[in-house]
Amino acid sequence: MKSELALVERIRRRAGRPRRLSLAIGDDCAIYTPAAGEELLFTTDMLIEDAHFRRGTHKAADVGYKTLARGLSDIAAMGGAPRFCLVSLALAEWTDERWVDGFYTGLLELARATGTELAGGDLARADKVMADIVVCGSAPAGTALRRGGAKPGDGIYVTGALGGSALGLESRRGMAWRKHLRPEPRLKAGAALREKWGATACMDLSDGLSIDLHRLCAESRVSAELDGDLPVYPGATVAQALHGGEDYELLFTLPAGVKAPRSIGGALLTRIGSIRRGNAGRIRIEGFELQPLGYDHFRKP
């Protein structure tokens, strides 16, 4: 491995000239000069070897791609447009220059496709690879979509199909595995939900529908009744669709009167239920209570 200075210089060259940033990699801080009337959205996500990926099955470029994709998914969930990101990368003994290059190839590929500039980061050594990303997005002031605005009577919707990532992780084959490795952040759908469709609440499905819908309802102080057809990913089980993590689809609510389109920003929409009054966070499905079983890093087995 080269010296840190040489490595930073190499990443800086690959990131290209900053356009929206006044200053990017190479100083104590990166500088962003906000436009008038914008609010800035910030999210942070870790990707850790053996917790979120394995060196044997995940290529460096997939790890880089997914590190950014997870952050962008949070920006999409607020209806924001990505602006820039900062990436902290702890490298293990087994990583070589090719791995580092691959990581940034995957990350920068998605960054370019979504208009996200690489503003900076930190490099360190550790026993296992750990990537942490902060993504900054932008929306007109006061318009970002939050979790807490769902109202009784609102329809509950999801983009795409659910359970694909869990199926992919199990089978390691086909489109489901690809969906697990390279989830597509629903940036266009999120922006349209904010601009045109008046979504009352929105979040991304990172830990699984059952726990994420529970969170949305808890934050909105309402309950949910699942009464629509669940868009189960082809080949996935209903349990994977209900509880599987990392689908990175959007979960959102629209006011009762709104007739939702069939698709939005390239993603199919499915109405899966309705918001109900009271019992903050409770979810009912076919008369039973749905337990929030999605992924929780700290739950005791």
Sites for its own copies among residues 10-29 (CB under 8 A): 22-23, 26-29
Which of positions 237-276 make contact with its own copies (CB under 8 A)? none
- The footprint of its own copies on residues 52-71 (CB under 8 A) is 52
* Least distance CB 219 / its own copies (angstroms): 7
Q: Which of residues 88-107 bind its own copies (CB under 8 A)?
A: 88, 90-91
b/e code 233-261 from CB counts within 10 Å (16+ = b)? bebbeeebbbbbbbbbbbbbbbeeeeebe
Question: DSSP secondary structure string, 250-296?
Answer: EEEEE-TT----SEETTEEEEEEEEEESSSTT-EEETTEEPP--S--
Q: Does 297 bind its own copies (CB under 8 A)?
A: yes
- Using the 8-state DSSP alphabet, how is residue 162 labeled? B
Written as one letter, the residue type at 31 is: I
Among 44, 105, 237, 279, binds its own copies (CB under 8 A): 44
* DSSP 8-state assignment for residue 218: H
Closest to its own copies by CB, 76 or 176? 76
Q: List 43's β-bridge partners, or say none.
A: 135
Q: Yes or no: say if 12 and 26 are a contact pair by the CB < 8 Å rule.
A: yes
Fill in the DSSP letter of residue 222.
-
Q: Which is nearer to its own copies, 145 or 236 (CB)?
A: 145
Instruction: Tell me whether residue 156 or residue 236 sits nearer to its own copies (CB atom).
Output: 156
Give the rounded distance of the alpha carbon of 39 from its chain centre. Answer: 19
Where does this chain touch its own copies (CB under 8 A) — which range of 1-9, 59-67, 180-188, 228-236? 1-9
The interface with its own copies within residues 162-221 (CB under 8 A) comprises 202-204, 215, 219
Residues 114-143 that bind its own copies (CB under 8 A): 119-128, 130, 132, 134, 136-137, 141
Q: Does 75 bind its own copies (CB under 8 A)?
A: yes
Residue 36 touches its own copies, criterion: CB under 8 A: yes
